[in-house]
Every structure is written in C-alpha cells, then in structure tokens.
Amino acid sequence: MNVHTVFDIAAATAAAAMTVGCFLWRLRDAAARIDQAGFGYAAALVVGAALGGYAAGTANLWLSGEPGVARSIVGALAGAIAAIELFKRARGITGSTGIIFVPAFATSVAIGRWGCFYSGLTDHTHGAPTAVPWGHDFGDHIPRHPVQLYESAAMAAFLFYALVMLARRDAFFLRNGFYLMVLWYAGQRFCWEFLKPYAPLLGPLNIFHVICLSLMGYAILMLRSNVASVRGCPCPGSRRS
C-alpha cells in the first residue's frame, strides 16, 4: 500500500467521522432534505464527481504532454455540483442541500493533500521551482513550492471556521455554508495554480484556473440569490438538537 493510499483512507475515514459527528451535533434537519430527495441524489453526486474528477485530471495531463489517466479534486467538485444542480432542477428541489458535505470536504482535502505531498513528483501535484526558504525537494533536487500543504492549510482554516459557525448555529452559514466553502476552495486553489508547472489553456491560465473561476462564479451567484431570503427566514439545522 503506497503512502497516497494510506492518506486517502485516512482522509475518507476522518471525513466520514466528521459527517456523522456534525449530523448528530447540528445538521439533522439539513440532512433530512437529502433523504427526501431519494437515491437519485446520491447517484448524481457519485457519477458527477467521478466524471468531473477524471475528466479534469486526465485533460490536464494531456495538455501537459503526458498522456495518462488522473483525477482531480476540483474537477470532482465541479462535476458533483453540475450533476446535483441538474438533478435538483429536474426534481423541483430549491435551496442549498450541500451543508452536510462541508465539514467532510474540508477535512478530506486537509488530510488528503498530505498524501499528495508525500507521493512526490509522480502525483503531478507538486509546485513550480522556487527560491523560498521552505521550498521542498520532491526527488529531482529542485526546491519547489509545496502547494499541497498550502491547500491543506487553507482548508484546515476553513474547517475551523465552519465548526465555529455550526457551534454558533449561524443562520447565514447554515443556509449558505456550502457556497461559502466552494468560494473559498476555488479561490485559494486558483491562487496556488499560479505556482504549478501545468500547461496553459487560456492565456496564463491552466484548466484548473478555468474550473476554479467557474466555481467561484457559481458560488457568488448562489450567494447573491440567497442573501435576501436569509433575513427573517428559518434555516435548515436551526432547531436545537
């Protein structure tokens, strides 16, 4: 079992535990909306994440001149969102249903990116060469930005914020936490992409830049559409438990 698999298992286990813990603690009502959506919701989530993750990761390899198959976290997130939004529209479901996934996603990235870091150059997630004192040699004797750890730290910080908001039963966060998470994740990922040696797709932007911009646009649009309804409206998860 390689180091990446070990961290993948650790990330999945911690994410599952975080989901169960937050469900029992604060998110029973929010999760009930997913139960009402039925099996189709879960199917759309899994299929969308798989298609988006492998499509984006593989496309990036090919654009970089390295034919092969790879998966991408940001691609999986975009694919899952697209599939779920289509499913919700088809079923007439309105409002956010993603708050239950927020702690799990942040936990998974915060832990999983360490697996990417320890996997070295073969993982294709390393940063570009750098002269900063904390540059890391991934095996080719060239100090590079440890962008995996930048991303891990960013999502650990968001996880802390999310847990504080859940502890406070913050109405805005309970209604919009998923969109805030998407905006934060895509925004920080967009920044780190400038520190990676990936092939450009549009001017100086690589394929992940483009996906991140799309995700940020989606999150901002959804936040703007929800902000008026937050004031004075009951929100999922606000009931004491």
Looking at residue 34, what is its pLDDT? 86
Structure tokens given for 82: 């697209």
Average pLDDT over residues 224-236: 64
- Cα separation of 74 and 195, whole Å? 16
Q: For 81-133, how does the pLDDT look when each residue is reduced to its tens digit (9 = 90+)?
A: 999 999 999 999 888 899 999 999 999 999 999 999 999 998 889 999 999 99
Q: For 179-209, how does the pLDDT look when each residue is reduced to its tens digit (9 = 90+)?
A: 999 999 999 999 999 999 999 999 999 999 9
pLDDT band at 20 (very low <50, low <70, confident <90, very high): very high
Looking at residue 154, what is its pLDDT? 98
pTM of the model: 0.90
Own/partner pairs, 149-154, CB within 8 angstroms, 24+ separation: 149/113, 149/114, 149/117, 150/188, 150/192, 150/195, 151/109, 151/113, 151/188, 151/189, 151/192, 152/109, 152/110, 152/111, 152/113, 152/114, 152/117, 153/110, 154/184, 154/185, 154/188
Structure tokens given for 185: 């994740």
pLDDT band at 238 (very low <50, low <70, confident <90, very high): very low
**Are 215 and 74 within 8 A, CB to CB?**
yes
In whole numbers, what is the pLDDT of the chain averaged over residues? Answer: 92
Share of the chain above pLDDT 90, in %: 80
- Cα separation of 61 and 69, whole Å? 7
CB-based burial of residue 240 (10 Å sphere; 0-12 exposed, 13-18 middle, 19+ buried)? exposed
Q: Does residue 66 register a pLDDT over 50?
A: yes
Looking at residue 233, what is its pLDDT? 54
Which residue from 41, 92, 5, 28 is spatially nearest to 236, judged by alpha carbons?
28
- Cα separation of 59 and 81, whole Å? 19
State the first-to-last Cα distance of the chain, in angstroms, to the nearest integer: 41
Q: Does residue 236 register a pLDDT over 90?
A: no
